[in-house]
């Protein structure tokens, strides 16, 4: 919803009032029936609901898993980051949608998503057969690099998402465009990292299958790679529509979030040390 709010130009739909809407119904508690105000109102109240759900997650984790200190701390960290995210959201509105703050707003939201993903992975039942063995730190590091790369890619794209650059897959249809403008540099890096990431994920997926990594890891890698490939296509559509489609912008961000979540999850799973079937070598 935040991506659609930004893509549709609705970020200032409630003017500079926060958390209520300027000149809205019931003193700003409800929006007027105006498109941009309704979109921004939905964004804010969805964020509020998410905050309540994160509080509920922390309470539930404390009640049922308080002996698992790391999990409780992850849930508590998620709540703390949600509070920070809300404050940044307020600052975005007060600063007339400053592009740096908007990018920071997205960056922090992805941290919340990652923390909740780690909680979910930690509390989910293990479905892979096999005994626990030593964790393969090299493999975990490779997965972590993929996750970190997807996060960096997302942030690079967020910084220039509403700026049109002709040509695809090359910026201005040249290998190295004029880099005198910082936005061109960021967009060029976005596409370069996207291309490298696609081949890196393909290699990880092939390696996981070759060495017989647990089924859960392989499934998450397939999800990440499939979503990544689809998102590359959406990136092309984003350029072809000259950055005018709110639906494409939203879908592109959603795809990025799916890739990020799947890679965080598979990195966390790889640390559980599920045994690899006999006859296979570790990557």
Query: Domain ranges in the chain?
Result: 1-124, 130-283
Contact 46, 1 (CB under 8 A): yes
Does 63 have pLDDT greater than 80?
A: yes
Model confidence at 276, pLDDT cuts 50, 70, 90, reads very low
DSSP class of residue 8?
T
Candidates 198, 230, 213, 200; CA nearest to 275 is 213
CA distance 199 to 166: 24
pLDDT of residue 273: 55
CA separation, residue 113 to residues 38, 91, 123 (Å): 25, 21, 16
Task: State residue 274 phi and psi, 5-degree precision.
Answer: -70, 135
Does 277 have pLDDT greater than 70?
A: no
Does 110 have pLDDT greater than 60?
A: yes
Contact 72, 78 (CB under 8 A): no
CA distance 133 to 272: 8
CA distance 184 to 80: 35
CA distance 2 to 11: 8
Candidates 225, 85, 102, 88; CA nearest to 161 is 102
Taking only the tens place, the pLDDT of each residue in 228-264 is 999 999 999 999 998 888 889 899 999 999 999 999 9
Candidates 211, 224, 221, 200; CA nearest to 274 is 211
Question: What would the two tokens of residue 177 be?
Answer: 């465009």
Does 127 have pLDDT greater than 70?
A: no
For residues 93-100, average pLDDT: 83
């Amino acid at each position: 919803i935040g991506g659609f709010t930004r893509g549709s130009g609705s970020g200032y739909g409630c003017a500079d009032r926060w958390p209520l809407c300027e000149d809205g119904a019931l003193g700003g508690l409800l929006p007027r029936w105006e498109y941009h105000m309704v979109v921004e109102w939905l964004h804010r109240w969805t964020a509020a609901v998410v905050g309540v759900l994160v509080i509920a997650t922390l309470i539930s984790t404390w009640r049922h898993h308080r002996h698992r200190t790391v999990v409780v701390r992850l849930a508590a960290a998620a709540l703390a980051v949600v509070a920070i995210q809300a404050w940044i959201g307020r600052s975005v509105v007060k600063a007339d949608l400053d592009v740096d703050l908007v990018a920071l707003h997205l960056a922090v939201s992805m941290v919340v998503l990652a923390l909740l993903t780690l909680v979910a992975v930690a509390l989910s039942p293990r479905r892979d057969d096999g005994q626990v063995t030593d964790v393969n730190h090299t493999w975990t590091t490779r997965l972590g690099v993929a996750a970190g790369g997807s996060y960096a890619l997302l942030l690079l794209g967020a910084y220039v998402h509403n700026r049109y650059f002709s040509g695809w897959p090359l910026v201005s249809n040249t290998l190295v465009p004029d880099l005198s403008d910082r936005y061109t540099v960021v967009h060029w890096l976005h596409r370069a990292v996207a291309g490298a990431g696609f081949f890196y994920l393909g290699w990880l997926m092939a390696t996981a299958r070759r060495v017989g990594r647990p089924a859960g890891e392989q499934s998450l890698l397939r999800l990440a790679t499939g979503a990544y490939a689809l998102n590359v296509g959406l990136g092309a559509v984003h350029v072809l529509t000259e950055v005018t489609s709110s639906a494409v912008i939203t879908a592109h961000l959603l795809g990025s979030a799916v890739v990020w979540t799947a890679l965080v999850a598979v990195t966390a799973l790889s640390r559980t040390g599920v045994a690899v079937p006999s006859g296979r070598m570790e990557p």
